[in-house]
Amino acid sequence: MLNTTLIHVEKDGKYLMMHRVKKENDVNHDKWTGVGGKFEEGETPEECAVRETLEETGLTITDYRLRGIVTFLSDKWEGEYMYVFTAAGFTGELIDCDEGTLEWVDKSVIPTLPIWEGDKLFLKELIEDRGFFTMKLRYEGETLAESEVKLYR
């Protein structure tokens, strides 16, 4: 199972989203996602979140919190544990990203964009801020076949 992070940087009621259109052979091609990526050897989830945000956006997150852990299972791709963060504070200026186009998107608009069905579920948890969560998402191909969520308050 892969260990990854996903970070939704917040500003003025918007999340920084990446339209994944630049990277070849990208499982997320043409979808909108937060920023993030795979752990490097010896990294904690927090270290990975800070590094990936800086590498992909040029921003250093300064006020961030772990909001949930998503377990992805698939009949097509390797399984994944994804640590989901939001970041309310940052320094720096946006850079061009070689994986996609970065854009500040109003939270209410995000569910109307081309995103994974499972992403809609955990984004709802982030936006409604109902507490720390764990979520299981099982895909058959690109179809969400099963989802479970557990809230911790």
16-23: average pLDDT: 87
Please state, in angstroms and rounded to a whole number, the distance separating the CA atoms of residues 55 and 57. 6
Please state, in angstroms and rounded to a whole number, the distance separating the CA atoms of residues 27 and 12. 30
Strand partners, 134: 69, 150
Please list, in sequence order, all residues whose beta carbon lies within 8 angstroms of the beta carbon of residue 119, skipping any fewer than 6 positions away. 33
Please state, in angstroms and rounded to a whole number, the distance separating the CA atoms of residues 74 and 138. 6
Strand-strand pairing, 132-140 and 143-152 = antiparallel
Question: At residue 5, does pLDDT exceed 80?
Answer: yes
Nearest to 4 by CA among 25, 27, 21: 27
Please state, in angstroms and rounded to a whole number, the distance separating the CA atoms of residues 110 and 35. 14
CATH of the domain at 107: 3.90.79.10
What pLDDT digit, counting tens, does each position of 103-153 carry? 999 999 999 999 999 999 999 999 999 999 999 999 999 999 999 999 998
Instruction: Quote the pTM value.
Output: 0.94
- What is the DSSP-derived secondary structure letter of residue 18? E
Pull the structure tokens for residue 35.
């920023």
Domain that holds residue 10: 2-152
What pLDDT digit, counting tens, does each position of 27-80 carry? 777 789 999 999 999 999 999 999 999 999 999 999 999 999 999 999 999 999
| pLDDT at 153 (0 to 100) | 82
Please list, in sequence order, all residues whose beta carbon lies within 8 angstroms of the beta carbon of residue 47, skipping any fewer than 6 positions away. none
Answer whether 87's CB lies under 8 Å from 53's CB: yes
Q: What's the total number of domains in the chain?
A: 1
Question: At residue 22, does pLDDT exceed 90?
Answer: no
